[in-house]
Amino acid sequence: MATQQYKAWSVVIMSTLAFTVCFMIWMMFAVIGVPIKQQLGLNETEFGILIATPVLTGSLIRVPLGMWTDKFGGRIVMFILMLSTVIPIWMISWATEFWHFLLTGLFVGMAGGAFTVGIAYCARWFPRERQGLAMGIFGAGNTGAALTKLLAPIIVIGYGWTMVPKVYAVLMAVTALVFWFFTYSDPEHKVGKHVTIREQLAAFKDPKVWRYSQYYSIVFGGYVALALWMTKYYVSEYGFDLKTAALLAAAFSIPGGVLRAVGGYFSDKFGAHTMTWWVLWISLVCLFFLSYPQSDITIQTVKGPLTFHFGLDATLFTLVMFSLGIVFALGKASVFKYISDDYPDNIGVISGVVGLAGGLGGFLMPIMFGALVDLTGIRSSAFMLMFGVVWVSLMWMYWTEVRPMDAARELKRAQLADRME
């Protein structure tokens, strides 16, 4: 008979595999969206809507999925969720009109809800002091975004973009079956029947949940948005072909997924607040450099006009994006460490609410990226928008966490001084 430890690690490993495949499929339009854009003659805003549509349903479904995971257990919910997307994934290959892609994309997007199911499912198999690591390992399934950028271009070049959804549909069906046969259920992990839906939804009234949602809207929502946008950005900004652009875009996606487990470890060690604070500051610095558009500045000197060029070349741009991917990975883990610390008995619903905010960030930002490019003609305007979101998050954290913590330390010092007197 399998030991509890064996079951716990089997659940984490298989859930991570399942989430990786789900994320591959969720990010599919990041690659096949480029030839579809050319085929349909879409503008930048329409392209943003195309690639963001799956993210919408993957976000909206997270709260009910979190509630069902708390009630019925993660194993059965994850299995049914994965099987429910197989037919819609295949149907993408039949689409010919813009609305066809939007409609099928809505159903395929449910795969993105796998995160909320898996994060609660995995966390409950471990003690509190190791939940950050377990959730971080599971969250490494974000590397599915990078795998799509590596695998999908090869399929597109060799067989056309319509083959990608066919291959992914088969992959999803096989993964669902493997997941079912190598995972376990524990009745003790379910919430009691006395817990009502109203009590579960009370999370929406908690200001801390909204704050964590804001953090997650940038570290996860920003990650999803850029993972969808970067292939097209490299093609438009630097003139690369689809395969090279997708490969370079993977330099952001890979650390953004793989290092989430490292983020979970450091969050356990240093605490969620410390990790998130530094993540946001480093993100702000990276986005400052990414925001600066390609510019030529001419200065009139005594010897005539002197022109300077400012702007990141493809190499520097990729290095900064790689750094941003690293800090986003650490931040995704640290935000969920907040949740496991503050809401150990309600992880499913809280992660659903926070995941909803993150997913909506991933849905809205690509659309806003496209709209900003159409309005301003500046491709780096996408990073300007994200810079503003990170700044808001930092200010919120300062006033609600840093200031109260400083005040508490000062009070302790004063009380200690009084005692010494």
Number of domains, the chain: 1
Per residue in 129-186, pLDDT (tens digit) is 777 778 778 877 878 878 888 899 999 989 999 999 999 999 999 999 999 999 988 7
Question: What are 305's strand-pairing partners?
Answer: 300
Our CA dihedral for 337, 342, 347, 353, rounded to 10 degrees, sits at: -90
Question: What's the rounded mean pLDDT across residues 230-237?
Answer: 88
For residue 384, the model assigns a pLDDT of 93
d(CA 80, CA 54): 18
Q: Give the residue carrying structure tokens 């809280």.
A: 350
Q: Domain limits at 68?
A: 4-420
| Secondary structure class of 301 (helix, strand, coil) | strand
Instruction: Let me know: does 134 contact 269? Beta carbons within 8 Å.
Output: no
For residue 421, the model assigns a pLDDT of 59
Whether the predicted pLDDT of 87 surpasses 70 = yes
Question: What's the rounded mean pLDDT across residues 300-327?
Answer: 87
* Residue 130 DSSP symbol: G
409 Cβ contact partners less than 8 Å away, ≥ 6 residues apart: none
For residue 250, the model assigns a pLDDT of 85
Which amino acid, residue 148? Answer: T
Between the alpha carbon of residue 14 and those of residues 179, 225, 313, the distances in Å are: 6, 26, 40
For 185, other C-beta atoms within 10 Å of its C-beta total 15
Whether the predicted pLDDT of 220 surpasses 70 = yes
- Give the CATH number of the domain where residue 316 resides: 1.20.1250.20
Whether the predicted pLDDT of 192 surpasses 60 = no
Per residue in 25-58, pLDDT (tens digit) is 988 998 899 899 999 999 888 998 998 888 888 8
In terms of Cα–Cα distance, which of 415, 91, 406, 146 is closest to 259? 146
Question: What's the rounded mean pLDDT across residues 289-297?
Answer: 86
Mean of pLDDT over the chain: 85
Alpha helices in 41-162 (DSSP H): 44-60, 62-72, 74-84, 86-91, 98-108, 114-123, 131-139, 144-159
| Secondary structure class of 138 (helix, strand, coil) | helix
